[in-house]
Amino acid sequence: MNPGEPLCGFGMPVMGGYPGRSAQSVPILDTTFEPHYSIGELARQWKLGRETVRLLVKNEPGVVRIRMGRSKAMTRYSIPESVARRVHTRLFNPAA
């Protein structure tokens, strides 16, 4: 480990392995103990469809995907509060 290298909740270095994103483009924070939301909860809060919310968050860094079985239809998403805030800000407050 290098000094100043970000660490995950287990004291191990954070790996920047997100498809299509460089490790420097999005800082990776430990989101273990912050509140997490489901697709349905965010859809209700944001007054959007579940599929719309799923498409918005599915490739976001920090989103936990839990695959239950071989079917993609059986994938559950757990979205940390910090990720939900980032997506919401980008969606509802576009830069001028």
Domain map (residue ranges) of the chain = 36-92
Q: Which two tokens stand for residue 48?
A: 């959007």
Position 91 scores a pLDDT of 87
> Which candidate, 33, 48, 11, 24, places its Cα nearest to that of 78?
33
8 has a pLDDT exceeding 90? no
Position 64 scores a pLDDT of 93
Q: Please report which helix (H) or strand (E) contains residue 47, including its range.
A: none
What one-character DSSP code corresponds to residue 94? -
The tens digit of pLDDT for each residue in 83-95 reads: 999 999 998 887 7
Q: Give pTM, 2 decimals.
A: 0.65
57-75: b (≥16 Cβ within 10 Å) or e: beebbbbeeeeeeeeeeee
Strands (E), the chain: 36-37, 64-67, 75-80
The tens digit of pLDDT for each residue in 34-81 reads: 999 999 999 999 999 999 999 999 999 999 999 888 877 788 999 999
